[in-house]
Amino acid sequence: PPDQLPQDPTKKTIVVLGSGWGATSLLKNIDTEEYNVVVISPHNYFLFTPLLPSVTVGTLDGRSIVQPTRHTTRFKTREVKVYEADCEYVDPINKTVTFEDRSEVKGSVSKVTIPYDYLVYSVGTENQTFGIEGVKKHACFLKELSDAEKIRARLIDCVESAAIKGQSEEEIDRLLHMVVVGGGPTGIEYAAELRDFVESDLIRWYPEVANKLRVTLVEALPNILPMFSQTLIKYTESTFKENSIDILTKHMVKDVDERDVLVKTPSGEEKKIPYGLLVWAAGNTARPLTRQLMAALPEHQKNRRGLEVDDHMRLKGAEDSVFALGDATATHFAPTAQAASQQGAYLARVFNQLARLQVLEDKLAASKKAGADASELSGIERQIEKAAKIRPFKYSHQGSLAYIGSEKAIADIPLLGNNQIASGGVVTFMFWRSAYVSMLFSLRNRSLVAADWFKVFLFGRDVSRE
Ligand code: FAD
Ligand code: NAD
């Protein structure tokens, strides 16, 4: 790394909570010359979530889609501190955060409180379980890298157990039933990757079990993928049908135990569905830390979905010092990487502008002290007036993309006015791949992802359990 300026106690401190889409986009774009930046996140890396479903079946290696946060901050003008820890308390009144090192290896210090001048709150969300106890106990989620690796191991376990000599037919049926809850893009993309794995790899190595493996997607609403156009919903449904993925719409999961999910069918009856692997992709909910921050500002924070911010991403009730972005906020933008990264880049511009403002204000004070003439002072004042005008955040929708299996993807791309192109198929899949490769933050990740795809093309996916 190049020589960096050390942190400077006379400069303002920005504490960034999180190392996901919002935080990383901010870190990439911020000029740190005028700030001390501190990043706190339980993961010391950024995870490229759009390709996470590919890790569940080994199309991609998990390492290929993560970027250490220190890689992002190493070329910054001033040193950025990165702490791998969980923030466990935010005090928006006294402007402090308390964080804890929860790793198994502990030193003499584990809990620390530090002050901030500005806080960037970008901790995302956790999985919505609707209070169903069995979900946390028995289902797999798909949010973190470790979730994808757990799904992969669990899938292979089911296949290997089903192949054990003497296993009863009923048990084979259960073990080889993969149930996905949630027909949003996470559930759809996971089911698609799973089907690819069965068709291309499992069939070669476990022919006797692969033919018996079933995939069922359960969705409470009347249709899947509500954010896509009707044509693409239909196209996805027919592609899933061709690939023998059963879609049960208007089926609401009410309970989960070790072996069965209990669903309410459209006719109102309750039915048990046995499963071997259950992937829960039923959406997001606010993290406990977010709820606690809301509770600290009860007059201003009343939305259960998440933090309320103004059009400059300032937290209502703490506008002078806290900015919140991404999934942790309750705005009219969908909780997507696209929105979070645009908000992160916007906030970086805001901080860069605030730094310019500070430099001009210091210059004005120094000029006044040195007895500068009126025209010089009014020149600086005009510059200050310009720098003080901060524009609100504006979202630019680039379209929605999703992988639906068998080398097919769907895309809703906005055109001028209110028009949009809805496209699905193999060409869209090529577009999907190239779009995501170009969006990966570094050459290192692009090379690793391209190499993984090439490896799978040559040798197929690895079916050994990690
Ligand atoms: P995140 O990216 O979730 O980052 C949150 C960060 O906070 C993480 O680094 C986490 O470690 C950290 N954190 C958690 N708790 C604490 C704590 N207590 N203290 C400090 N830090 C903490 N969106 C798209 O636009 N296109 C896609 O194709 C797409 N595909 C997706 C596929 C999957 C499988 C998933 C799960 C999501 C996908 N999304 C996609 C949605 C997208 O990932 C999210 O909208 C995006 O990650 C939100 O960014 P964020 O910065 O708000 O939160
Ligand atoms: P989601 O909220 O989009 O979908 C969850 C689905 O689960 C909903 O359709 C809901 O009706 C269903 N559901 C909830 N409870 C249920 C129950 N008990 N029984 C049956 N069905 C139930 O969640 P997601 O798919 O994880 O997506 C989260 C966000 O991330 C969204 O904004 C999405 O756009 C974004 N994302 C985008 C992509 C992409 O663009 N390719 C991929 C993944 C995620």
* Residue to substitute in 21, 225, 333 for testing ligand 1 pocket (most ligand atoms within 8 angstroms of CB): 21
The pLDDT assigned to 416 comes to: 63
Which protein residue has the closest C-alpha to ligand 1 atom 45?
A: 336
From CA 98, how far away is CA 114, in angstroms rounded? Answer: 7
Give ligand 2 pocket residues (Cβ under 6 A).
50, 130, 181-187, 189, 218-221, 227, 252-253, 281-284, 334-336, 400-402
Helix H or strand E encompassing 423: strand 420-425
Give ligand 1 pocket residues (Cβ under 6 A).
17-23, 40-43, 49-50, 52-53, 86-87, 122-124, 142-143, 186, 287, 289, 326-328, 335-338, 340
Query: Which one of the ligands is nearest to 219 CA?
Result: 2
Q: Please compute Rg for the chain using Cα positions.
A: 25
Give the Å distance between the CA of 286 and the centre of ligand 1: 12
Closest approach atom of ligand 1 to CA 436: 28
From CA 142, how far away is CA 122, in angstroms rounded? Answer: 19
CB 410 within 8 A of CB 229: no
Nearest to 435 by CA among 359, 339, 338, 354: 338
User: Position 207: which residue type?
Assistant: P
From CA 399, how far away is CA 233, in angstroms rounded? Answer: 15
Query: Which one of the ligands is nearest to 87 CA?
Result: 1
Give the Å distance between the CA of 437 and the centre of ligand 1: 18
Q: Note the ipTM here.
A: 0.98
CB 175 within 8 A of CB 276: yes
Closest approach atom of ligand 1 to CA 289: 18
Residue 127 pairs in a beta bridge with 284
In this structure, what token pair is assigned to residue 388?
Answer: 């003080």
From CA 312, how far away is CA 328, in angstroms rounded? Answer: 15
CB 415 within 8 A of CB 395: no
The pLDDT assigned to 422 comes to: 75
Give the Å distance between the CA of 114 and the centre of ligand 2: 36
Residue 98 pairs in a beta bridge with 89, 113
Closest approach atom of ligand 1 to CA 51: 32
Kindly list the strands in the beta sheet with 96-100, ordered across the sheet, starting from the edge strand earlier in the chain: 86-91, 96-100, 111-115
* Residue to substitute in 219, 254, 265 for testing ligand 2 pocket (most ligand atoms within 8 angstroms of CB): 219
User: What is the phi-psi region of residue 240: left when phi exceeds 0, alpha when psi lies from -120 to 50, beta otherwise?
Assistant: alpha
Closest approach atom of ligand 1 to CA 125: 3
pTM more than 0.80:
yes
DSSP string, 274-300: E-SEEEE---EE--HHHHHHHHHSTTT
Which protein residue has the closest C-alpha to ligand 1 atom 52?
A: 326
The pLDDT assigned to 296 comes to: 97
From CA 197, how far away is CA 195, in angstroms rounded? Answer: 5
Which protein residue has the closest C-alpha to ligand 1 atom 14?
A: 123
CB 265 within 8 A of CB 93: no
CB 139 within 8 A of CB 181: yes
Give the Å distance between the CA of 154 and the centre of ligand 1: 23
Closest approach atom of ligand 1 to CA 24: 51
Give the Å distance between the CA of 27 and the centre of ligand 1: 15
Nearest to 355 by CA among 44, 56, 52, 77: 77
Mean pLDDT per 10-residue interval, the chain, length 466 residues = 85 98 98 96 97 97 97 94 97 98 87 97 98 97 98 96 95 97 98 96 92 97 94 94 96 98 97 98 98 97 96 98 98 96 98 94 95 94 94 94 93 74 83 90 93 96 87
From CA 206, how far away is CA 293, in angstroms rounded? Answer: 51
Which protein residue has the closest C-alpha to ligand 1 atom 41?
A: 336
From CA 246, how far away is CA 236, in angstroms rounded? Answer: 12
In this structure, what token pair is assigned to residue 280?
Answer: 């829960």
From CA 347, how far away is CA 254, in angstroms rounded? Answer: 41
CB 264 within 8 A of CB 254: yes
